[in-house]
A and B are shown apart, each in its own frame.
Chain A
Amino acid sequence: MSRLRIEVQRDDFDIGAELALIAAQDSNIGAIVTFSGLCRDEAGTLSALEIEHYPGMAEAEIRRTALEAMERWPLTGLTIIHRYGLVRPGDNIVLILAASTHRHAAFDAASFLMDYLKNTAPFWKKEHFIDGTDGGWVEAKSRDEDAFKRWHSL
């Protein structure tokens, strides 16, 4: 039975502590792939990102995606954390830890999860620039949708 930990939170997370937690759950883990997504400064122009989310559905949608990943790959543990609220350049936004006995399942599951979350998890980012202007809502990118769709044909 693999362990699943999902958090949608305003606060930052501690990647080292999360790694220690997942590693301690199972002594047959041979690989943990860590993906962390950070806030860029957009070449020095961005002051902050405001991340809006749909409380309740955000957790539910991440859980649906996580369960699908656990069906597709033999994972021994999975941690997914997504922040909301105001984040500054350099701050963490998202964390995926995918643990398995071997690396391939862990790499593939982490990649799948990020492609899915970007397209199906109800979060939206708004940019605030250093000069005080509101950069508006970030537009969804077609390359993210393409990355999402490729999993349907595998």
Chain B
Amino acid sequence: MTRLIYFAWVRERIGKGEEEIELDPSIATVADLLSHLKSRGDGYAAALEYQDVIRVAINQEHVDHDAPVRDAREIALFPPMTGG
């Protein structure tokens, strides 16, 4: 099982802060995962509509959308950051 965590408006649109999912072997990269999640319902589709702007961290490190998800324990999806 892989833990998915959502922040800010990604969390609000999906309607939950985190969940555990079983990653199908056909989901190889972050981009595959985002496409898959979009099909899970309206909230996901709204959150991930502009897929390119979604930032992703695997095991708490930033990754690009072509990164493999196979060894991920924790994948976080969030908007561009606005700290500081």
Contact = CB atoms under 8 A, between A and B. Distances in A.
B41 interface: no
B58 to A, nearest CB: 10
B83 A57 contact: no
Contacts, number: 71
Given A52-B7, A54-B76, A125 B82 contact: yes
B9 A137 contact: yes
A84 B76 CA distance: 18
Contacts of A42: none
Q: Which of A117, A120, A124 has the most CB of B within 10 A?
A: A124
A93 interface: yes
- For chain B, the bracket of interface size reads 10 to 19
Interface of B: 5, 7-9, 57, 60-62, 76, 78-84
A30 B61 CA distance: 35
25 contacts: A51-B83, A54-B7, A54-B60, A54-B78, A56-B60, A60-B60, A60-B61, A61-B62, A94-B84, A114-B84, A118-B84, A119-B80, A119-B81, A120-B62, A120-B81, A121-B84, A122-B57, A122-B76, A122-B78, A123-B83, A124-B8, A125-B82, A137-B82, A139-B82, A140-B81
A78 B55 CA distance: 28
Interface string A116-154: 011111111110000000001111100000000000000
Nearest to A94: B84
Contacts of A139: 80, 82
- The list of the 5 closest CB pairs from A to B, nearest first, reads A123-B83, A140-B80, A124-B8, A57-B60, A118-B84
